[in-house]
Chain A
Amino acid sequence: MNRQAFGNSGDPGATTMMTVEGMRRGLARRKVLDQVFVLIGLVVMLACLMILAVLFIDLVRDGWERFTWDFFTHFASRHAERAGILAAWVGTTLIMVVTAVCAVPIGVAAAIYLEEYAPKNWMTAIIEINVTNLAGVPSIVFGLLALGLFVYQFDLGQSIAAAGLTLALLILPIVIVATREAIRSVPNAIREAAYGLGATRWEVTKDHVLPYSTGGILTGMILGLSRAIGETAPIITIGALSFIAFLPESPFKSEFPFISFGWLNDPFTAMPIQMFNWVSRPDQAFQANAAAAGAILLGMTLIMNGVAIWIRYRFRKKISW
């Protein structure tokens, strides 16, 4: 008689279990336990989802009075009601541009290499281990890397370029992993067909594999950027200022060549930094500003994630091999 199979439900002894009556009672109890667990699982799951809603509603409620046009067009200020997020959202936007421009091509290229080209040797193994490893490195350590390397060795200073590069390294593993998954899901028959017609490996990749994996790559890019947009620790470490009353140089010029890169070297602040600055002030009036900034930040993250989920869903539905 295997006692284990009947559960540790505290049956008085093996003898009761042997009787049909005892077995029936044991079974009933075990079935009740099943129902109880389903209930617990549902409650825990809903509680976690509720917290997300509570978080968002709470931020919006606390910051409601600050959602005015002025909040978006004013610089930070010593007076809570006059302070705005102009420098912060401009800074965040520019940093995201740098991050995307650096992380996406490198990440996609690395993923293509690992999936389509890499031979099975020690170098490939090292690259793979490093990608996995980087995904687990605490974000603040990327900040330290950037402080030692970008800010002082490369002499980028506490600039938008340094921040963008730091976040690019941080989201590189996310882009690589997402792109690899997308590439892996393209059936081999498609590659074989292209090879069969005499295409080279790059032609196969560029003309067939990449177009089919666009959805997955886009998803990875958006998820990566949504992670980068909320990252605070690494850019505090490289020395983002929290009080900035000017904008970086405009990337657009009225005369030829109409575009300038002077902003790359400008000091900056960003949305999460601004929010952190407001949260850590003892003055209650600033908490409303922090809540408003947080609501915007959270809203942007949720929208980006939503878009990523939607793209994944769309592409999955559209392609049927």
Chain B
Amino acid sequence: MNSSLSSSYGSPPGPFSDPPGLRSVVSRKALRYRKLRDRVIETLLLVAGLVAVFTTLAIVAVLLYESSAFFEHVSIIEFMTGTMWTPLFADAHYGILPLVAGTLTTTLVALLVAVPLGTTIAIYLSEFAPHRVRETVKPILELLGAVPTVVYGYFALTMVTPALRVLMPELPGFNMLSAGLVIGLMIVPYVSSLSEDAMRAVPRYMREGSYAMGATRLQTALRVVVPGAFSGLAAAFILGISRAVGETMVVAIAAGMQPNFTFDPREPAATITAYIVQVSLGDLPHGSIGYQSIFAAGLVLMLMTLVFNVVGFFLTRRFREAY
């Protein structure tokens, strides 16, 4: 209603000069007190805002500090290139590749589920569904993302794996396939919700132009809206990837916790996150190499998410359409 005022909001109301009549009502002392109180409160609020910054710094500091102790014992070359990960065995090997392979495999399976399903739902909701359907379905769909991951783990282990074994009788009880499928399901709402937002941001006149050329809704959706929203879609997929990479309980429950250097989703394997859980379940003494190894693993996890996010950032920038 008052959009013209919005530019002035955000800056303080300006130096207060008392109109002569007001002086008797608002004493200068009271005003000074109120201004001082404002200053104090502003500082407190700023401190609260800085908590987020400190948390990030603390995460980086803790991971680097504990991993640096780890890398005093283990060469970075062995860590990055070794294909055996057995830090808890007497014959210890510290090659992170099996865990990375497990993480990438489950993530890939998850994406193969989440991207087609999520995008289809997003296109349907944004371009085809009536308003009421969209408003009803969206919150319910988001519940899928709110289900505790340990419950999804139970689902993967006791329902999805047995179902898959009907199709593939030789499938082991723990496997990356069922874990990946369930993670995919879990991230569908993230992908669909962000994708839908991106598609709805494509201006109406582009659709109308397309309709005017005789295109149907589906053609408009696939040829005009999706390309127009591509940067938003890319951001949605990247978010899905980071969720899948960091997902812990589903893989810890359903994929087994044995490091296994393979990209075959039908095999059991451990991911980076599953390894951290496995170590935490035991009682490793503070400062032991096993204890430090989970921080090194966590550092790799952070770096992987970071890489995906940076790639996503450039993808979004590269394909951004300005309207």
Contacts and interface: CB of A to CB of B under 8 A. Distances in A.
A189 B309 contact: no
B299 to A, nearest CB: 9
Contacts of B252: 233, 276
B262 interface: no
A230 B51 contact: no
Nearest to A290: B154
A148 B62 contact: yes
Given A34-B217, A134-B55, A297 B151 contact: yes
Interface string B1-45: 110011011001100100000000010000000110110011011
B143 A52 contact: yes
Interface residues of B, number: 95
A144 B26 contact: no
Contact of A113 (B48, B153, B159, B302): B48
A239 B66 CA distance: 17
Interface in A251-293: 272, 275-276, 279-280, 287, 290-291
B82 interface: no
Contact of A34 (B151, B214, B216, B249): B216
A38 B124 contact: yes
A33 interface: yes
B295 A230 contact: no
A226 B146 contact: yes
B2 A148 contact: no
Contacts of A145: 55, 58-59, 62-63
A5 B216 CA distance: 9
B9 A33 contact: no
A302 B151 CA distance: 13
Nearest to B238: A136
Contacts, number: 276
A144 B248 contact: no
B253 interface: yes
B137 interface: yes
Contact of A279 (B128, B157, B214): B157
Contact of A141 (B125, B147, B301): B301
Nearest to B294: A144
B49 A110 contact: yes
Contact of B124 (A41, A275, A280): A41
B220 to A, nearest CB: 10
Given A51-B144, A192-B9, A44 B66 contact: no
Interface string A39-59: 011101100110110110011
A5 B2 contact: no
B2 A139 contact: no
B121 interface: yes
A227 B146 contact: yes
Contacts of B247: 138
A144 B295 CA distance: 7
Interface string B232-244: 0000000100100
Contacts of B253: 276, 279-280
Q: Which 8 pairs from chain A and chain B are nearest by CB?
A: A138-B246, A230-B148, A41-B124, A109-B48, A148-B62, A113-B45, A233-B248, A110-B49
Interface of B: 1-2, 5-6, 8-9, 12-13, 16, 26, 34-35, 37-38, 41-42, 44-46, 48-53, 55-56, 58-59, 62-63, 65-66, 117, 120-121, 123-125, 128-129, 137, 139-144, 146-151, 153-155, 157-159, 185, 188-189, 213-219, 221, 223, 239, 242, 245-249, 252-253, 273, 276-277, 280-281, 283, 286, 294-295, 298, 301-302, 305, 309
Given A149-B62, A172-B55, A232-B248, 12 more contacts: A5-B219, A62-B158, A118-B49, A136-B239, A148-B63, A187-B2, A188-B2, A226-B146, A233-B149, A237-B277, A297-B151, A298-B148
21 contacts: A52-B147, A58-B158, A62-B158, A109-B48, A110-B45, A112-B45, A131-B52, A143-B280, A145-B62, A188-B2, A192-B5, A201-B38, A202-B38, A232-B149, A233-B252, A237-B276, A237-B294, A276-B249, A279-B153, A279-B157, A294-B150
